[in-house]
Structure 1
Amino acid sequence: MSSLIDHLGLTENHIYEVVLSTYGREGRPHAAPMGMTFRQPREIIIRPFKTSLTYNNLCESRCGVVNVTSDPELFYRTAFKETLPSGESPQEWFETAKKVKAPRLKLAPYHIEFVVKWIGEEIRERAIISCEVKGFKGEKIFSRPYCRAAFASIECIIHATRIKEYLSRGWVETAEELIRLVNNYRSLCERVAPHSKYTKIVDELLAFIEIWRQQAKVG
């Protein structure tokens, strides 16, 4: 496992944002952004919302794939599938994993395949899931010049998934704090990468957020 950590330049107990893919009950592939932590050499910890499809799928299938990517577009399309023509991730995005019965994203340069060891309760709305790595494979990931807009757009995607959940629960004040951050990141994207795919992603997220706000008021 040290070779995996070294290969990706990872550190134990740091949270890394990835896209996690699983099969649903009917065998349909599903992918969604998720935070991941290496807690021990062969152990991955994830903390999904208990209302999420990822959580339900892991409870059923007991395995999945961590797809390592830095592409904001892939984070965005897997987080907000309503932006896709069919409303769900296309089947052709996926291929079958080698070591576990789970799908993996063809577009991701690196895959970490795992099985679920145990599932517990972290806090009221989240579970904690311990996973054992069964295999990993992919391209060597090289450093590239750092663009603040890429980082900012991924942060906005992560915040938006939480904003949607918090507004649905009536936690308006907590959601509004994150909305302010999204607006700040929008200004950053426009400054360092104007009229880019990053600003487009954040603008679409802000439109979704306004819809969720209105729905929360009606509810």
Structure 2
Amino acid sequence: MIQETIVTTRNLSGEAHIAPMGIHANGGELVILPFRPSTTLDNLLETRVAVINYCDDVRVFAGCLTGRRDWPLNCAEKIKGQVLAGALAHSEVEIVRIEEDSVRPKLFVKTVHEVNHAPFRGFNRAQYSVLEAAILVSRLGRLPMEKIEAEIAYLRIGLEKTAGDRETEAWGWLMAAIDRFKTGRSA
């Protein structure tokens, strides 16, 4: 099973990095699979720890993919790391094993501390739409534009029926990123 999360890492200088990432969960085993090159991978290899944040504010997912990475953080409790302030729950993890791969290494982690901050009340269709659109934005240049546009058209239906202000704002960021990609403009 893949859980859509926000992973926070730090480099050796203590600078935090926030990234949306699908974490593979199989029973009690968690696997982080960052693509090469990535700041998340570099930080994990340097420090061997991370925080997996479970969050329902889809603006964080969309924001990180569109250059908005300045989300409030708090100190982790058991590792040298940082927790997303808006997380509903978080797991502080450390690497136990690495399976090397030239494109996407598998980092097997164990949880050293978990905290629940607030109840998860479920996602509405607009939140789901934003999460799926964020994944599509992360694949710009890897997937055919026709596929992305077809999926965005379908996702827009759920968004338009159930979105609140947060979802509408996040969707706008993602659509602007797609438009910039299509016209060859940078952020």
Q: What are the Cα deviations for residues 61-86 of structure 1, in whole angstroms up to 9, with x where unaligned?
A: 11000011122122222332x2x4xx
Distance in 1 between residues matched to 2:147 and 2:45, nearest whole Å: 32
- Look up the match of 2:70: 89
Question: Within the alignment, does 1:103 sit opposite 2:82 as a pair?
Answer: yes
Q: CA deviation at 1:97?
A: 0.9
Q: Name the CA distance, whole Å, in 1 between partners of 2:120 and 2:169.
A: 26
Structure 2 unmatched ranges of 5 or more: none
2:37 corresponding residue in structure 1: 51
Aligned positions of 1:1-219 closer than 5 A = 14-41=1-28, 43-80=29-66, 82=67, 84=68, 88-89=69-70, 93-121=72-100, 125-139=103-117, 141-144=119-122, 147-163=124-140, 167=141, 171=142, 173=144, 175-190=145-160, 192-193=161-162, 196-215=165-184
Q: Deviations over 1:152-192 (max 9, x none)?
A: 111111221122xxx1xxx452x5423321232123312x0
CA gap 1:97/1:189 in 2 versus in 1, 3 angstroms: same
Tell me the distance in 2 between the aligned counterparts of 1:195 and 1:72: 11
Q: Is the 8 A contact 1:186 1:199 kept in 2?
A: no
Q: Structure 1 stretches of 5 or more lacking a match?
A: 1-13
Q: So what's the TM-score if we normalise by structure 2?
A: 0.86
Q: Which has the higher helix share?
A: 1
Per the TM alignment, residue 209 of structure 1 is displaced from its structure 2 partner at its CA by 1.3
1:6 counterpart residue number: none
TM-score, with structure 1 as normaliser: 0.75
How many correspondences in the alignment? Answer: 185
Distance 2:2 2:152 in 1: 20
Task: Indicate the SS of the match to 1:126.
Answer: coil
1:110 Cα deviation from its structure 2 partner:
0.7
Query: Any idea what the Cα deviations from partners look like across 1:187-208, whole Å, max 9, x if unmatched?
Result: 3312x03674323322321221
The percent of aligned pairs where both chains have the same amino acid is 25
Larger radius of gyration: 1
Q: Residue type of the partner of 2:159?
A: C
Report the CA distance shift for 1:51/1:148 in structure 2 as closer, same or farther (over 3 A). same
RMSD: 2.3
